[in-house]
Amino acid sequence: MSQTPPAPTSLTTAPPADAGTPLPTAAAAVRGVGLRKTYGKGDAQVHALDGVDVAFARGHFTAIMGASGSGKSTLLHLLAGLDSASAGQVYLGDTELTSLGDDALTELRRKRVGFVFQSFNLLPMFTAEQNILLPLELAGTKVTPEIREWFDLLVTTLGLKPRLTHRPSELSGGQQQRVAIARALLTRPDVIFADEPTGNLDSRSGAEVLEFLRTSVREFGQTVVMVTHDAQAAAYADRAVLVADGRIAGDVANPTPDVVQAELDRLRTVSLANPASTPSHGIEAR
Ligand SMILES: Nc1ncnc2c1ncn2[C@@H]1O[C@H](COP(=O)(O)OP(=O)(O)OP(=O)(O)O)[C@@H](O)[C@H]1O
2 in any annotated domain: no
Mean pLDDT of 158-182: 95
249 in any annotated domain: yes
Q: How far apart are CA 49 and CA 280, in angstroms?
A: 11
Q: Where are the beta strands (DSSP E) in the chain?
A: 10-12, 28-39, 46-57, 61-65, 87-92, 95-96, 113-117, 191-195, 224-227, 239-244, 247-253
283 in any annotated domain: no
Tell me the best of 41, 46, 47, 50 to mutate to test the pocket of ligand 1, counting ligand atoms within 8 Å of each CB and taking the most.
Answer: 46
* Pairing mode, strands 61-65 and 224-227: parallel
Asked whether this complex has an ipTM greater than 0.95, the answer is yes
Among 17, 111, 59, smallest CA distance to 225 is for 59
Among 72, 207, 180, 185, smallest CA distance to 118 is for 180
86 in any annotated domain: no
Q: Which domain holds residue 145?
A: 62-76+105-275
Q: What is the pLDDT of residues 175-229, one digit of tens each?
A: 999 999 999 999 999 999 999 999 988 988 899 989 999 999 999 899 999 999 9
24 in any annotated domain: no
Q: Which helix (H) or strand (E) holds 133?
A: helix 128-139
- Domains contained in the chain, number: 1
Q: Given this model, what pLDDT does residue 275 score? A: 60
97 in any annotated domain: no
CB 168 within 8 A of CB 91: no
- Specify the CATH number for the domain of residue 176: 3.40.50.300
257 in any annotated domain: yes
CA angle 189, 136, 28 (to 5 degrees): 10
Q: 278 CB under 6 A from ligand 1? A: no
| 183 Cα to the center of ligand 1, angstroms | 27
Nearest CA to ligand 1 atom 16: 71
Q: 112 CB under 6 A from ligand 1? A: no
Q: 282 CB under 6 A from ligand 1? A: no
83 in any annotated domain: no
Tell me the best of 36, 39, 43, 84 to mutate to test the pocket of ligand 1, counting ligand atoms within 8 Å of each CB and taking the most.
Answer: 39
Q: What is the pLDDT of residues 41-78, one digit of tens each?
A: 888 899 999 999 999 999 999 999 999 999 999 999 99
Reported for 258-266, long-range contacts at CB under 8 A and 24+ positions apart, including other chains, are 258/231, 259/9, 259/11, 260/63, 260/65, 260/231, 260/234, 260/235, 261/231, 263/11, 263/13, 263/65, 264/65, 264/66, 264/67, 264/231
